[in-house]
Structure 1
Amino acid sequence: MSTTTAAPPATLASDFYGVQTELAPAEQDQVLRIREFLEREVRPIADDCWDRAEFPHHLIPGLADLGLFGAHLPETARFENGMLYRGWVALELARVDPSIATFVGVQTGLTMTAIAGGGSPEQREQWLPPMGRGELMGAFGLTEPYSGSDTSRGLRTTAERHGDTWTLRGAKRWIGNATFADVIVVWAKDVADDQVKGFLVRTGTPGLTVTKIERKQALRTVQNADIVLDGVEVAEEDRLQRVSSFRDVAAVLRPTRAEVAWQAVGLAVGAYEAAVAYVASREQFGRPLGSFQLVQDKLAESLADITASIALCRRLSLLAEEGNQRDEHAALAKSFATTRMRATVARCREVVGGNGIQLDHGVARYFADAEAVYTYEGTRDMNTLIVGRAITGIQAFV
């Protein structure tokens, strides 16, 4: 669906300190192309897709043409780009639709990164180029019905080898993109050595059942699923050849946790921009709502939270560029940015008043979606424990 809209701004008013200007010229040009596509193709349908809990599959070719799938990988990158650019793109996506940002994050940050980091050269060549072109979709199967934050110790899905074949048994939950994925990266414990292994499971494999999760109240456009693996057989050649423990899974999650921090900033920006537009046009007591001191105070506080989060994420991206990003760096950014996001969307919902709970006024979708982003890729509590361990040198996990 294409709708005529005004040209998007070259810079965002919410980028108060002008961090976007630090991008290379080619990166800035691409950001503007992405912004224009999102405003033209995504924003006009975002509320309706969210309301109906349906995914707009027709957007996939356009997203692929913009190089959004695998921008960080040599097999799929369209041009040379840096970590700050990739973070800013996550912000841009979430600013318009956090569900689309999550979809891209699952395809790129989780699935393709897992194959790139854990796969053999042959597996990389087989899967990454078509995924980068949007011809194949992927999903990432880690979280389980009874294992979320304790996944590193509590993984229940098992893998048992018989010659050149592995048999997988178990279940996964909250697996984004799984209802239409061509391949699912499934993480399972090897019964022989109790270490986590990764497997490329093609959808349609006998014993694999994928069921859409219904009645969600956040990121409704994202197609999350329950997965059951009942004796699913996977060839040894479809095991990720360079994965031998949960440490390899954590290496995948480290950069994606940073990306979620950027997503959180974008989500807060989207709610803030909707609130600013609303208070400029809404009148109360014969005056624009934006003329009241308490409203301006809430907007200023929201902008401060956004600006602080951008600054934190910017430095995180530079640390990653230098090769110096550690787990506690990503954990602090994710914890801080999502907490400030949650406060921002609540303030923005408040200044829109009763209309803030209705999709038509721009804030409600962000307000609801914030709860999912606040939780996935590590809850606030789990991330603060990672930071606390770095501060004290003491392990406080149960």
Structure 2
Amino acid sequence: MRPLTRNGRTRLVVATLGAVLTATGIASAHVEYVTDAGERGDPVAFLVGALSSPLVILALGSGGVAVLGTMAAYLLFRPLRADVRAFRRALARYTDLLPWLLRLSMGLPMVGAGFAGYLFTPLVTAGDTVVPVRLFGVAVGFALLFGLATRFVAGVALVSYLALLPFHPEMFFAFEYTAGLLAVVLVGGGRPSADHVIAQMAANEETVYSRFDPFYRRIAVPVGDRIDPYRQFVPTVIRVGMGVVFAYLAFAEKLLAPNQALAVVEKYGLSTLVPVPPELWVLGASLTELFLGVLLVLGLFTRASSAAAFVVFTTTLFGLADDPVLAHISLFGLVSALLVTGAGPLSVDAAVFRAPNQMGIPGTGVGPSRATDGGDRSGTDADR
């Protein structure tokens, strides 16, 4: 009976966690994208009023106990070890496609931003410079999608974002671009990509193209050799960037702007969908985002946190019809990348639960240092 008891407890806490994530995830949108509420509101008054409700305290407390209980139950009983290990290894076999996944995650929203006429986020519109902005977004997006001059294009986009950020602070709502573009710089074009095809042709001395190509041996190979040692930090870059995004959204869009967050709850009738106080929706969404952000920055239960983030994004898109899908593609892609890589180095998962393991992160797919076999390299994230 003992195994049944463990499994029963695990199913109970997992089901409770799922219900909490589903309920709060619908309210976890980019608030600025779906409401025009002007007044941000008084955060202190909002918290005092919300936490004076026994129902709010009970719901938040039970949700917190459910989440922490789920984590503790997993560490204590470690259920379904073989299943989790097989799942992790299956995901790790997609490592050779990681550059492709990252290029799609950055390229698709950049193309969408170009055609829509905004810079990185719908909050920063082109205005009088609509033509250059559209050309920039479309050119960068398609270059990333095709994998042409990948590292250079991603570097240009990253520098452009950082240069524009002081002039448009609202671009911080799309801070995931820094993590995604830097990750693309580290991994390169990978395969399939135009860079990979060109490199194969240039590396073959029997081709006519290899005699004239001025970039592969003089630029691509030296740059790749310098960047290769840092590829192992791709998971670290992604999860820290995503963690910062989650924490920032929790504070900037909800806890510090309660009126705007409450306007979203009212606009979509969320309190009618689930008859709880609007304040509970806002606090639940903000605490969920903040908790996921902390877990990602620490690299604790990384794959589980990424899966939970994926659920949050999905419920947001289905629950809030006005939330622009293109603005979330980058988020979907980056948490999917973490499902493949795990926590990576400089993480609690690696330091506490498992010794670091050198996971090959592919780049151009050419040369002995560029892994392309897609073998079973499960990374540093333990059975999570």
Q: Normalised by the size of structure 1, how large is the TM-score?
A: 0.37
Q: Write 1 or 2 for the structure with the bigger share of strand.
A: 1
Q: Normalised by the size of structure 2, how large is the TM-score?
A: 0.38
Tell which structure's C-alpha radius of gyration is larger.
2
Answer 1 or 2: higher relative contact order, Cα 8 Å, separation at least 6: 2
Q: Write 1 or 2 for the structure with the bigger share of helix.
A: 2
